[in-house]
Amino acid sequence: MKPTVVLVHGAFADGSSWNGVIKRLRQAGYPVIAPANPLRGLASDAAYIHSVLMSVHGPVVLVGHSYGGAVISEAAVGDVQVKALVFIAAFAPAEGEGALELSNKFPGSTLGSALNNVPFPLPGGGTGTDQYIKVDKFHDQFAADVPRSVTDLMAAAQRPVAASALEEKATKAAWKTIPSWTLITTEDRNIPPASQRFMARRAHAHTVEVKASHAVSVSQPGAVTRLIEQAAQGTATTTTAADPSGAILADTGSERSATRAITLGGVAAGSVAAGCAVVLLGRRWRSGAKSGR
């Protein structure tokens, strides 16, 4: 069984930014989900994505782009179904680090001057700040290798991120215990390539570099898909000599799936035992019948 690929977008984007990747993964036979990332706060966004993961049965390859990387790293902690993390031009913070801090760790980001700050009312009172990329700067800042006819639509439909979400510190880091893969975008103007390399080395991630903008899932969906497939194959179930049927779930089966396998195994064993009992009773009946003659 192929794992379900869960794709989590980052700031200034939505699930449609994965369209080219979704198409290719589905053609390869992978189940795919691309949930809406709320972009309101790291802890609350991670809790939401975790709730999505709980609805998936079987192994998961969890993929995050940009700020979505910070979200998946927090959301996956303790989830035995998540077998691989894939960071696509993404943040992978350690405990106590925020996305904005990591973006500024090395020079190269020009995002600050491209932002438009818009106040919004908070549910409990007070005012928050939403951040958008200015429409006239969106192409060059976010997706310089994507045709303007496409980026004009992306800019109009972009989803803002709460400024506080980019400042919020991570409290968990799933990349410390779950194998990770990283795609580094060398022409990135949002997250400097040096920051991406720093996080990838620290996570001991399987890493590839692509000459692409921050919007690499749009400009080079093939490269993104290939890395996701490598992650899926790298954590695939292997058939063992003791279990040539591949029924042992090993590293890629969830606890729920494992429980189901054990239950089914017990049912099968019970069926065999019941069958043997029927055969023995049949033999005894025939033997008694012969003696009566």
**How many C-beta neighbours within 10 Å does residue 177 have?**
12
CA gap 286, 18 in Å, rounded: 68
Q: What pLDDT does residue 173 have?
A: 98
Q: Could you tell me which residue, 281 or 196, shows the higher pLDDT?
A: 196
The pLDDT assigned to 153 comes to 98
Mean pLDDT to the nearest integer, 158-165:
98
Task: Domain 4-234: state its class.
Answer: alpha beta
Q: How confident is the model at residue 288 (pLDDT cuts 50, 70, 90)?
A: very low
Confidence tier at 1 by pLDDT (50, 70, 90): confident
Out of 14-23, 244-253, 278-287, the most confident range is 14-23
Q: Which whole number is the average pLDDT over 70-95?
A: 98
pLDDT greater than 70 at residue 286? no
Residue extents of the structural domains in the chain: 4-234, 254-292
Q: What's the pLDDT at 279? A: 34
- Percentage with pLDDT > 90 across the chain: 79
Residue-wise pLDDT for 92-135, tens only, equals 999 999 999 999 999 999 999 999 999 999 999 999 999 999 99
Name the more confident of 253 and 210.
210
User: Lowest mean pLDDT: which of 38-47, 154-163, 230-239?
Assistant: 230-239
pLDDT of res. 190 = 98
Largest CA distance in the chain: 103
Q: Is pLDDT at 72 greater than 50 in this prediction?
A: yes
